[in-house]
Amino acid sequence: MSFADDVRAELCAIPIKKPCCRRALTAGLLSCVRTCEGKQMTVRYKHEAVASLAMDLLARQYGKQPALAISGASGHRYYDLTFSSPACYKQYLRMREAGADVEEIVGFSCDACRGAFLRGAFLAAGTVNDPHKAFHLELLLPDGVDTAALIGFLSASGYPPRSVKRAGGVGLYYKDGGSVEDLIGMAGAQHTVFEIINSRIERDIRNNENRATNCVAKNIEKTISAATRQMEAINALMEAGKLDALPEALRVTALVRYRNPDATLDELVRLHEPPISKSGLNHRLKKLLEEAEEL
């Protein structure tokens, strides 16, 4: 089972407590009615569990058992439900009107209705990636399905989707962990929400670790390149026979650095006898670079 299958199974198993939420869930499941000839509607599902939930809900909501036709090969089966109901047809037409307001058309009447509608729409057309791989939630609506009402619903819920043309339809999608987490939570898949939260935390930790490692690497690089320049300067001074002519303090520092090419500044400070401050050391190293430049 894919990750999205697990999410679908979780969503299908959520009990529906109120008639208003059942109405909203049913309307969501009808988000991708493919054809409507006369007053006969056909809606296609790709998953048996979803088709069976829709059959049950449509029968309860509109008092008629839809006809089921199964096509396709195993692994890519299609479950087409065909039914006719004047009330359902009326709702279908209103959903396609410009500026259709899902909340008003379906008649949301409790706090859970919005989530129930989203759950239906996700079951009908949605997919979600394993959050450990990538954050991606998408509703894929086949050609011929009016997307405006669904886009309006998602935007009014605070999550305007991005849309993309796909083979055979339009995808409404989200790629940020926050939206994916919120929408899955709103649809009611709490178990999946925990998985998304966990993977977001893991990602944050990994990013911070990478940042820290990069920072350490950069510091090491800086130290090495400074030490290399100092070693080159000291070598040049030695080869030119200028080292002995330098003041005692500079000569001591040059020799300490020469004998400890890998030492950090703090280590060089501790290697000086008599003791020296870090700024004093910096000053001397800078002076050595200048002396070498004059050669």
Q: Which stretch binds Zn ion (CB under 5 A): 41-49, 104-112, 193-201, 287-295?
A: 104-112
Smallest gap from residue 90 Cβ to Zn ion (A): 20
Say how many CA atoms lie within 13 Å of 264 toward its Cβ: 6
Q: Does the footprint of Zn ion cover residue 191 (CB under 5 A)?
A: no
Q: Does the footprint of Zn ion cover residue 14 (CB under 5 A)?
A: no
Q: Which stretch binds Zn ion (CB under 5 A): 56-64, 76-84, 105-113, 208-216?
A: 105-113
Query: Among residues 224, 228, 280, 229, which one has the least CA distance to residue 252?
Result: 280
Q: What are phi and psi of 281, to 5 degrees?
A: -65, -45
Q: Which stretch binds Zn ion (CB under 5 A): 19-27, 129-137, 144-152, 221-229?
A: 19-27
Q: Does the footprint of Zn ion cover residue 222 (CB under 5 A)?
A: no
Instruction: Give whichever of 82 and 157 is closer to Zn ion, judged by the CB atom.
Output: 157
Q: What are phi and psi of 165, to 5 degrees?
A: -75, 125
And the tokens for 210? 């990478």
End-to-end CA distance of the chain, in Å?
Answer: 73
Instruction: Give whichever of 114 and 257 is closer to Zn ion, judged by the CB atom.
Output: 114
Smallest gap from residue 15 Cβ to Zn ion (A): 13
Smallest gap from residue 109 Cβ to Zn ion (A): 6
- For Zn ion, the binding residue among 17, 18, 162, 206 (CB under 5 A) is 18
Q: What angle do CA 136, 128, 80 make, to 5 degrees?
A: 135
Collapsing DSSP states into helix, strand and coil, what is residue 263?
coil
Q: Does the footprint of Zn ion cover residue 20 (CB under 5 A)?
A: yes
Q: Does the footprint of Zn ion cover residue 21 (CB under 5 A)?
A: yes
Q: Does the footprint of Zn ion cover residue 246 (CB under 5 A)?
A: no
The span from the CA of 121 to the CA of 227, in Å, is 63
Of 109-168, which residues contact Zn ion (CB under 5 A)? Answer: 110, 112-113
Smallest gap from residue 112 Cβ to Zn ion (A): 5
The span from the CA of 236 to the CA of 234, in Å, is 5
The span from the CA of 7 to the CA of 183, in Å, is 12
Pairing assessment for the beta strands 169-174 and 78-84 based on DSSP bridges: unpaired
Binding site for Zn ion (CB under 5 A): 18, 20-21, 110, 112-113
